[in-house]
Each structure stands twice: as C-alpha cells, then as structure tokens.
Amino acid sequence: MNFLSYILWNPDLLALQIGPIGLRWYSLCWLVGLMAAFFYVKKIFSDERIPDAKFEPLFIYCFIGILVGARLGHCVFYQPDYFLTSATGWFEMFIPVKLFGEGVIDSLSSGHWKFIGYEGLASHGGTLGLMLALLLYSRKMKLPLLFLIDAIAIATPVTACAIRIGNLMNSEIIGKPTDLPWAFIFERVDSIPRHPGQLYEAIAYAILGVIMYVIYKKTSPQKTTAAVRTDFKAQKKVAGQNNGGNTLIGRGFYFGLCLFYIFTARIFIELTKEDQEAFEADMLLNMGQLLSLPFIAMAIYVLWRAARGSFPIGVPATKSHNANKSKTKRK
C-alpha cells in the first residue's frame, strides 16, 4: 500500500488554547455555522420588513431545539441500550459529563466524573427539534410557520456544511475502506484509507447552499414591485404565476427542497460510511438511511403542495400592507 497516494489526517482537536481553556474545532465549526445562519436569516427577515424585536428570540429557540433534538435523537435511536436502561445513562443524556463511579450519586460525590460535552448528536433528531422550536416560536411571535421554516431552510445548508467539517476535524463518522486517490487515512482511528464521508456531505450541503442562494436572489423581495409588496391579493396572483418576489418563500418550497436534497444525499452518502453502531451491521439500511425516509416522504408532500399552490402564502404582513388596509377601511 502506497500511503503517499492518500491524505494523512490527524489534525489537533483544539483550534484555540488560552491557558486551561481550549476551543475544539468541532465546537468552532458549530459556532461558525450557527452564526452564519443567524446573519443569513436576519437578512431574510430584513428583506421581508419584519421588526428586529420579532427576530431576536429566534436564535435561542433554534439553538435549544436543535441541541435537545439532536441529543435525544442520538440517545434514543443509536444508543438506547446505554442511555435508556440506567440512571447513569439518563443523567448523561442531559448533562454533558461521563460518570465513572457506581451510579450517579457515587460518581458525583467521589469526583469520578469528567466533562466531555455532548459527544453524540443526531441530525435527524436535530431537524425534528428545530421544527418543534419553530412551531413554538411561530405561535409566540404570531408569524406564519411556513415563512419561518422556509427562511430557516435557506440558511440550513450553511450550518450543515460547517457541522460536517467539524466531524471531519474530529475524525468521526468515518467512511468505509477504499483505494480511491482522495481517500483519507484517519490516523486517530487506524491506518486504513477510507472514504471521507464527512467531506462528501459537506460538499453536498455547500452545493445546496449555492442553489438556495441563487433561487432566493432570483425571487428576492427587492425584485417585486411596490404594488405587489403591499397588496396580498397581488402577491397571491403573482405567486400563482410563479413570477415575482414572494413566489416561493412562505409556500414551503425551500423547506421541501432542503429536506429532499439533504436526506436523499444522506441515503447515498451513507453507503460510503461505516455503521455508527454494531447493531446496524445486519440491517439492510442503516439507521441514518432509515431515519431519512420519513423526511424524504415529507419533502415530496410539501413540494407537491407548494407546486399546486395549495398551501396558503405564509408571508408576514408588512407595515405598509397594514397601513393600506386601514386606509381602505376608512374609505
């Protein structure tokens, strides 16, 4: 085997070290991805003329929803035998520590524990957690749910790409052995050339991000006439013709496209990746592929409804629209 033909991969886990405090590459990638999505969605809210006061709580809702959903998804679907069968498992599911003593009380009282962060996070669970968080946010802020999930979907590929880069820096979710020239040897794991499955996903999500950006810019609110921007009947007419500024956002199109692309890509990319848990070895489809199927079905349904125009247009009313309504009533 000619190791010079492959990429030797063993980066330092820490991106930054200041005294006893270190910032891991994985955490940094999560942070960069979330912040990029934050400013992306903020721009969309600005385009739609939604007050900043309504936007500000969105990040907290999304962060908590993604974190809780991703953590529960991993524990329930990938390691239920460990996390759901003991008090120690339940404790570690929610508290980012590893216990080494005889039970929770003994570990904490004797100091036999270590802070490790949340080492198991599942994207499928994170998606469900995000959707629930957006539902709660929608009701709290009185904003259309379809608009919210479309806005978040446009920015999702940026975060997803950054997270998979973080997985690559951690040398986790590794691929199956291969002799392809771009194979990675994850030295922290073994000396076998493998598919860089994390990189495949990151590239796929980056491509989706470009597609989303181009479509959004082509149908951005700035390209809509003032009459359409302030008249919901005109918006609905233009949307039916699929021509103009608000023809796609708020109709479920971006949400459906995002779900379909990401989880269809997962189905195929999983073929190049090692199973994450031993129980997956005897399964026709691994857990990642199985969990992707309901999301793909949901995506097809949403895209079908969006294409038919059977979803109501979920674009928030602007101040100018409300002002026009008031003038009409006074007349």
The DSSP 8-state label assigned to residue 318 in this structure reads P
- 13 SS3 class: coil
Residue for token pair 């080492």: 119
Residue for token pair 């269809």: 264
Q: pLDDT class for 33, splitting at 50, 70, 90?
A: very high
How far separated are the first and last CA of the chain, in Å rounded?
Answer: 83
Number of residues in the chain? 331
Interval 164-173: pLDDT, tens: 999 999 998 8
Task: Give the model's pLDDT for residue 83.
Answer: 92
How many angstroms separate the CA atoms of 67 and 157, rounded? 17
Interval 175-210: pLDDT, tens: 999 999 999 999 999 999 999 999 999 999 999 999
The answer to whether 45 touches 206, Cβ cutoff 8 Å, is no
Q: Which long-range contacts (CB under 8 A, 24 or more apart) does 46-55 make?
A: 47/220, 47/221, 47/222, 48/147, 48/221, 48/249, 48/315, 48/316, 48/318, 49/318, 49/319, 49/320, 50/143, 50/316, 54/141, 54/143
pLDDT tops 80 at residue 120: no
Interval 266-285: pLDDT, tens: 999 999 998 877 888 888 88
What's the average model confidence in pLDDT over 121-141? 89
What's the average model confidence in pLDDT over 74-97? 90
Interval 221-257: pLDDT, tens: 555 443 334 343 444 444 444 333 446 788 899 999 9
Maximum alpha-carbon separation in the chain: 83
103 Rama sector, left if φ>0, alpha if ψ -120 to 50, beta otherwise: left
Interval 315-324: pLDDT, tens: 565 554 444 4
| Mean predicted lDDT score pLDDT of the chain | 83
How many angstroms separate the CA atoms of 194 and 168, rounded? 12
